Amino acid sequence: MPLPFSAEDLLQAIDGIAYAVDGDGIILGFSRGPFLPAGEGGSDTPWNSEAVVGTSLFAQLRGAEVIETYRTLHRAVWSRGHPAVGFEYRCDSPETERHMRMSLSLIRAGSTPVAVLYQSITITETARVPLPLFAADLLTARAPAGLDELVVKLCSYCQRVAWPDYDAVTDPEWIEAAEYYWRGGVTDVVISHAVCAPCYQRVIGSLSASSP
């Protein structure tokens, strides 16, 4: 006996934000909201729910490193080497420290892969002293042409920032945004969305560690 509801009904019932995406990354359906807010490496293009279906999920992300990690996770799940992967990440706003969990699960029709289900849920939200570095306008600002403004890298997974040290050729020091301010970091910067080495290892490294 078939289930008395559609796939769309099921998608709408899922907790948090849910996206069903095909093997090429094209959005087939979603429950609500942008996939990631701007502060989390989400796109700064105006979010229009009608225009989202049929477009690439990866076009909603910012930062080449961030997009590449999501593509890698997507391929790992779609190829069925990993029927599901999950990781915790941060999605702060100036007044809120927010811990989230993202999961990617393979949906099959019989034995044929048909979609990857992305589900994002909030684990904890804690109010804090405002950190202006996480203001949406700053996180989506583009560097003004011709201006040599300070670029600060922000990890899209843990929201640590790379301490801007122009003497460090490799391996920047990734610190909490509060620490950034304690050290005298300024807000008048351009944010570049990136992935820190520990998060890369935690999120992508786990794929090879658990390969079947």
Residues found near Zn ion in the complex (CB under 5 A): 155, 157-158, 196, 199
The residue (of 71 and 202) whose beta carbon lies closer to Zn ion is 202
Pull the structure tokens for residue 138.
């700053």
What sign results for the dihedral spanned by CA atoms 195, 118, 56, 53?
negative
The residue (of 115 and 193) whose beta carbon lies closer to Zn ion is 193
- If we measure between CA atoms, which residue out of 66, 61, 41 comes closest to residue 203? 66
Q: In angstroms, what is the minimal distance from the CB of 157 to Zn ion? A: 4
Q: Which residues pair with 106 in a beta bridge?
A: 116
The residue (of 67 and 199) whose beta carbon lies closer to Zn ion is 199
Q: In angstroms, what is the minimal distance from the CB of 197 to Zn ion? A: 8
Q: Which residues pair with 118 in a beta bridge?
A: 19, 104
Q: In angstroms, what is the minimal distance from the CB of 89 to Zn ion? A: 8
Q: Are strands 151-155 and 190-194 parallel, antiparallel or unpaired?
A: parallel
Q: How far apart are CA 98 and CA 10, in angstroms?
A: 26
Q: In angstroms, what is the minimal distance from the CB of 160 to Zn ion? A: 5
The residue (of 30 and 89) whose beta carbon lies closer to Zn ion is 89
